[in-house]
Structure 1
Amino acid sequence: MRIVTARELQDWLEHGTVLEKDSRGPKVVMLQNGLILKIFHTRRHPWLARITPPAKRFAQNAATLKKLGIAAPAIIETLWLDQCKGLSACTYQPLPGKSLETLLREQPTEIDNLIPELAAFIFRLHRQGIYFRSLHLGNVLLLPEGGFGLIDFLDLIKKRRRLNDWEAKRNLGHLRRYLQRRKISGFPIDKLIDSYSATARSC
């Protein structure tokens, strides 16, 4: 992992466009060269973050998805912004597409047509041993050429076996609770679960 100088980071933040931030500062920045800078603020003890840097885990998860044939951002570089604080980052080529959350807001009728394909995509993830706790509409992109891709997958876990029924149900439950928590109406979650079950029965 390359160590970024304070001056280099300041230049990125001054000339880039902050896309996402919280009380700790910028989290996602669009750089002038078109790459995305993703900053990982950790709540863990700094020495733990130094042992297993979030940026490195993010890059490993991206490689795992690519190996499985699942579209994900292409990681360019993993970085240390402040080793003492365990602050890491990575740059990546943004994945083209539109999040399902944006699609639901702009073209709600289109979502309904995509449910069988989305259910098959989630079933494929589970069959390949992917447990993605942050499986929600903001982290699934509809790709320009069709199909789906994933973003923001730091908490993704690759198991050596396919997910069992309890794990799959729990993962879909995360999506339902996300909709409830964000008060997102109009997404046919029950239809998605029914379609998922139908896909599982046919395999």
Structure 2
Amino acid sequence: MANSALLVMDVQQTIVDMVDGGAGILPRLRDAVDAARAAGIPVVYVAIEVRKGWAAASPRSKAIAFAVRTGIFDEGGPGLEIHPDIAPREGDVVVTKRRGSAFSGSDLELVLQSRDIDHLVLAGIATSGVVLHTACHANDRDLGLTILKDACLDLDPETHRFLVETMFPQWADVVSVEDWIASGPVTAY
């Protein structure tokens, strides 16, 4: 039986404000978080922050160059807290990443190893960003994967649809939050 963790990724105030646009992802995320906690599954929050300036960024990376130029994800900046509707509680883990994947520049791998976690349940913003990058990383690490398709969101609905219907099923079980909860999230889907 797999030891699972729910990763809630990049659901920070600024990102939700930019991307959600009324999509209503927060209630589904809250349902997933509540179900994981009730089942004793660790909830790991992943947040992006980058160092100010170019100290840890290359102008060759379009995404990081944009973040550095605009200061939108500057370390310690405003709006980078986890959205209050799904805020971490005592006992939850929060890791800070520096790039697209939840593994990049964070101590996520140590957190997973210390808890003997071998299956990840992924949710977050954006499907084509942190979800895709983390799924690739996890797949390369031979971790089991479940992706909560309606607890992920992307600026481009067609990109989201393509990823959850075509690409992700090659690597992961792709299910709705409701189906994941109904299946009993104590085990991998």
Q: TM-score, normalised by structure 1?
A: 0.26
Structure with more contact order per residue of length (Cα contacts < 8 Å, sep ≥ 6):
2
Structure having the higher Rg: 1
Q: TM-score, normalised by structure 2?
A: 0.28
Give the structure with the larger strand fraction: 1
